Structure 1
Amino acid sequence: MIADPVDQARRLARTRFPDALAVVLAGSTSTGRATAASDLDIAVLVPEGGASYRETIRFEERVVELFVHTRTGLGELFAADVAARRAVLQSMYAEGLVLVDRDGAAGAARTLAAADLREGPPALAPETVETKRYGLTDALDDLVDASDRVERLAVAGFVLDAAADLLCDHRRAWLGSGKWLPRRLLAADPELGDALLGGHLRLCVTGDPAPFAEAAASVLDLVGGPLREGYRRTWHGVIDSVAARR
């Protein structure tokens, strides 16, 4: 018999974090979409003086991803997630299932998280957008020119990430990675997001890059068009790798 993941999360909270101010279960297990292999994503707010950390454990034969933080740590993590344009922890608090709410701590954190989500991510600097345009333009050239199927698939992965990055920035929408990339992409722009994802799938299945390249080119058109000749970048401060665009 498969244990109920919500009950498991409650037992974990009682046994491992008896003094927690707030415990929130997020992800598929909080929405009833969990499978036997689904892990538990749990945010835990602890009193000041505790540690802020992320830890992976196994509890009752289920993998658990713990996001533990103090109020101070939570504020710092929220700020970092906004700067990264991902809002992972905000989504956990705003959309997750509250298991523990001592003195309104979970409600207060949920209010702050929801405010960040409504505000949206900060816009990329124009210079950054230009560099990302250049990188996507270059990768699209490689995608069309590639004769090796394996290389084309590798380039396609970069193109999908780069196009999603630019499209989400243009729509002032949150980014995602892994399984959250398609979810966030479709939320940002249902029509163009679907064209990118469908084109990428078709390329992977049939090897035909045309629909995918067309969708990625449409993203470029939204943000100023392809950029090749005339691109110039002057390094100052911390110098990153010239391969960062690839």
Structure 2
Amino acid sequence: MNADPIDQARRLVCDRFPDALAAVLGGSVAAGRATASSDLDIAVLIGDKGETCRETIRFEGRVVELFIHTRAGLADLFAADVAARRAVLQSVYATGLVLVDVAGEAGRARARAEADLRNGPPAAAPEVVETKRYGLTNALDDLADAGDRIERLAVAGFVLTAAADLLCDYHQAWIGGGKWLPRRLLEADGERGAALLEGHLRLCTSGDPTPMIDAASQILALVGGPLREGYRRTWRGVVPVGGEPGVHLGEVSG
């Protein structure tokens, strides 16, 4: 795959979205970190009669992630990203390469995205932080006691995600998943974030959980420390989506 990815993105938008109001290329290509197999992340603003959706296609041999939205759809997606504390689409508009900009539409979307990023995510509710503390406390106990290597690795993955989420919330910083977890974590707190990541790497390579337990325990101390006895939640008939890892009224630790 030797074609220039930016040229490919321009051709795709021209071919598929000739009436686009704005189009922005984000991801590794826009950041200058692209490899031969990197996909294209393209946000496309369309007219108000269109449909807001996400679609994955292949164009000229390259995988393309399309984020297609109307003006109202973009406002809804920005609000959802803020509520989820991820700001994925805001990052595309704020840092991406503008491919199409009709009557300043891309510029206005970028300004809204930059404002969201400056303001930061909302703080997690105290009840959510308490539940995350409880879940991380249980997981650290399990990590210290785990004799099975496979179980230890599984628990370590949860500890990494839960501790990273708490640390980012403590700093009112954006969170991320996948390759964006370490990036966001280090942006939020270079020292504690690096210690957590190094502890996770040490556990995965040597099996020693001690550095990771120490790093996660320091993060836990920032938000109130371990939480075991005294924790109580009332079942309200709704399973939370994305906000409270590790705790379910039907789940048993140990």
Match of 2:180 in 1: 180
Q: Which moved more, 1:24-33 or 1:58-67?
A: 24-33
Match of 1:216 in 2: 216
Counterparts of residues 78-89 of structure 1 (less than 5 Å)? 78-89=78-89
Shift of 1:161: 0.4
Q: CA–CA distance in 1 between the matches of 2:48 and 2:231? A: 49
Match of 2:104 in 1: 104
Q: CA–CA distance in 2 between the matches of 1:50 and 1:56? A: 17
Match of 2:148 in 1: 148
Match of 2:90 in 1: 90
Match of 2:76 in 1: 76
Consecutive aligned runs of 4 or more in structure 1 exceeding 6 Å deviation? none
Match of 1:197 in 2: 197
State the number of aligned residues: 246
Shift of 1:20: 0.3
Shift of 1:239: 4.8
TM-score, normalised with respect to structure 1:
0.97
Shift of 1:31: 2.0
Aligned AA (2:119): E
Indicate how the Cα distance of structure 1 residues 129 and 113 shifts in structure 2: closer, same or farther if over 3 A, else same: same
Shift of 1:243: 5.7
* Contact 1:26–1:41, Cα closer than 8 Å, also in 2: yes
Q: CA–CA distance in 2 between the matches of 1:24 and 1:44? A: 7
User: Partner of 1:232: helix, strand, or coil?
Assistant: coil
**Is it true that 1:128 corresponds to 2:99 in the alignment?**
no
User: Partner of 1:10: helix, strand, or coil?
Assistant: helix
Shift of 1:238: 2.4
Q: For each residue in 1:24-57, what CA deviation from the matched residue of structure 2 results, as whole angstroms up to 9, or x when unmatched?
A: 0001111221111100000000010100000000
TM-score, normalised with respect to structure 2:
0.94
Match of 1:35 in 2: 35
Q: CA–CA distance in 2 between the matches of 1:25 and 1:210? A: 42
Indicate how the Cα distance of structure 1 residues 137 and 189 shifts in structure 2: closer, same or farther if over 3 A, else same: same
Aligned AA (1:79): A
* Contact 1:168–1:174, Cα closer than 8 Å, also in 2: yes
Aligned AA (1:114): E
Match of 1:242 in 2: 249
Match of 2:245 in 1: none
* Contact 1:132–1:245, Cα closer than 8 Å, also in 2: no
List gaps (5 residues or longer) in structure 2: 241-247
User: Partner of 1:178: helix, strand, or coil?
Assistant: coil
Shift of 1:245: 9.7
Indicate how the Cα distance of structure 1 residues 237 and 25 shifts in structure 2: closer, same or farther if over 3 A, else same: same
Q: For each residue in 1:77-115, what CA deviation from the matched residue of structure 2 results, as whole angstroms up to 9, or x when unmatched?
A: 000000000000000000100010010000000000000
Shift of 1:235: 2.4
Shift of 1:176: 0.1
* Contact 2:101–2:107, Cα closer than 8 Å, also in 1: yes
User: Partner of 2:104: helix, strand, or coil?
Assistant: helix
Q: Identity rate of aligned residues, in percent?
A: 72
User: Partner of 1:242: helix, strand, or coil?
Assistant: coil
Q: CA–CA distance in 2 between the matches of 1:212 and 1:149? A: 15
* Contact 1:135–1:245, Cα closer than 8 Å, also in 2: no
